[in-house]
Each structure stands twice: as C-alpha cells, then as structure tokens.
Amino acid sequence: MKYKRILLKLSGESLMGDKQYGIDNERVKQYAEDIKAVHDKGLEIAIVIGGGNIFRGLSAEKSGMDRAQADYMGMLATVINSMALQDALEKVDIKTRLLTAIKMEQICEPFIRRRAVRHLEKGRVVIFGAGTGNPYFTTDSAAALRAIEIKADVVLKGTRVDGIYTADPEKDPAATKFEEISFREVYDKGLNVMDMTAFTLCEENQLPIIVFDMNKHGNFMKIASGEPIGTLVK
C-alpha cells in the first residue's frame, strides 16, 4: 500500500445517496465496506464528514440566522453523520472511535491529539466530528487541520465526481479533467477544490490532496494502493 496513515474527507451530501435529505443506509454501508477493505490491508484511517445533508450553516445564515449559531448547529449535524458511519463500520467488525471538538461524553470522546494518534496506532478507525469546534470554519478546514495534527500522509477527498475539472463536469460537458495539478495552478485557475483556509493549510504543510469519486465501489482501495485515479494536488 502506498500510504501508512490517511485522512478521508466525505461530504455530508455524499451520505444522501439518491435521497434529497438525510442518510441513505445503503450508501453508508457501501462506504463502510470500502473502508474495511482498505483497513484490512493495515492502513491507519481517520475520517471527517460534513453535515450538509442535514443542516448547512451558510444556508441558514442567508435566511437570517446568526452565523455562529448556524455553524454550531452544522457541527451537531456532522456528529449525527459520524455516528451513522461509526455504526456501519462496527457492523463490519471494524473497531472505531468517535472524537469530537465539542464535548458530549455520553456518545463520544473529546478530541485530544495524542489520544487520536494512539487509537490509530492500535488499528482503530478514528472519526472526527463537530468540525474544528469553532464557527466560521468548514469541515474541509477541519479535515486539513486534523490531517496535519495526526501527521497523515495524504488527504483523500471523496466526492461525486472523479477528480478536478476545468469546470463543473455536471454542468459543462466540455470540462476536462486534471490528472495532477499544483497548489499554485489551483489558485491561478480559480478552481474549487476545498475552501481557501483548508487548501492553504495543506499547501503550507506540504500535505497532498487527492480528489476522487468515493461513490464508485473499489475506488478507495485503488487510491490507497497508489493507482493514479482522481486528481492529485501537490
């Protein structure tokens, strides 16, 4: 396997499957099976999930809600998603730990960096919930931050598309895909990979990002094995 320790970033919307809202159990089950296959190869896996399938802070702010309040609600949505994935992973016999940036001891552990690293070293899949614990930061930023803190080898961003394109391939059929691109080129071309805070964190800490289609069964294993699918940003 190409990597020893990876951080997988999933959007909340990816958990919806074909639904308009909430969690598609079949999609979560597929993710759990793909994660198990990679975990069984000995890789250390940490995961960050968004909450957009349940609540999105930015959208609520536009409707008149206080931004900080809306963001805290979004953080709670990420914990719901994290618990759903945790349950699916445990059903396929993967030991997990859910660590959150906001304390809620009855259902998870508080995030402590050294504890998170120790869980990974013991072969547990670690899920980081509640973003960074601060409003005005996205789960992309949380993924970049946690990946740096645990010294992950790479951030794998699982999306609905199979990489980074010159334009949105769902809207522009003429869009072409990048196999590999530099951080500077992403800035210069104005491409939307992650929010700027997350992207800058990765660049400054020389942490590569791979954007790939997580919805295709087996892609996660191919990425972990070093196959050149998706788009590499380095």
Q: Is residue 72 part of an annotated ligand binding site? A: no
Q: Is residue 12 part of an annotated ligand binding site? A: yes
Closest CA relative to residue 58, chosen from 128, 130, 139, 127: 139
Q: Is residue 173 part of an annotated ligand binding site? A: no
113/56 Cα distance (integer angstroms): 27
Q: Is residue 133 part of an annotated ligand binding site? A: yes
The continuous run of DSSP H or E covering 76 comes out as helix 67-91
For 231: left if phi > 0, alpha if psi spans -120 to 50, otherwise beta; the answer is: beta
Q: Is residue 71 part of an annotated ligand binding site? A: yes
Q: Is residue 168 part of an annotated ligand binding site? A: yes
Q: Is residue 134 part of an annotated ligand binding site? A: yes
Q: Is residue 132 part of an annotated ligand binding site? A: yes
85/98 Cα distance (integer angstroms): 10
Q: Is residue 9 part of an annotated ligand binding site? A: yes
Please, which residues have CB within 8 angstroms of residue 80's CB and are 6 or more apart in sequence? 23, 51, 54
Q: Is residue 165 part of an annotated ligand binding site? A: yes
Q: Is residue 25 part of an annotated ligand binding site? A: no
203/148 Cα distance (integer angstroms): 11
Residues of each annotated binding site? 9-12, 51-52, 56, 71, 132-139, 159, 165, 168
Residues of each annotated binding site for UMP? 51, 71, 132-139
Residues of each annotated binding site for ATP? 9-12, 52, 56, 159, 165, 168
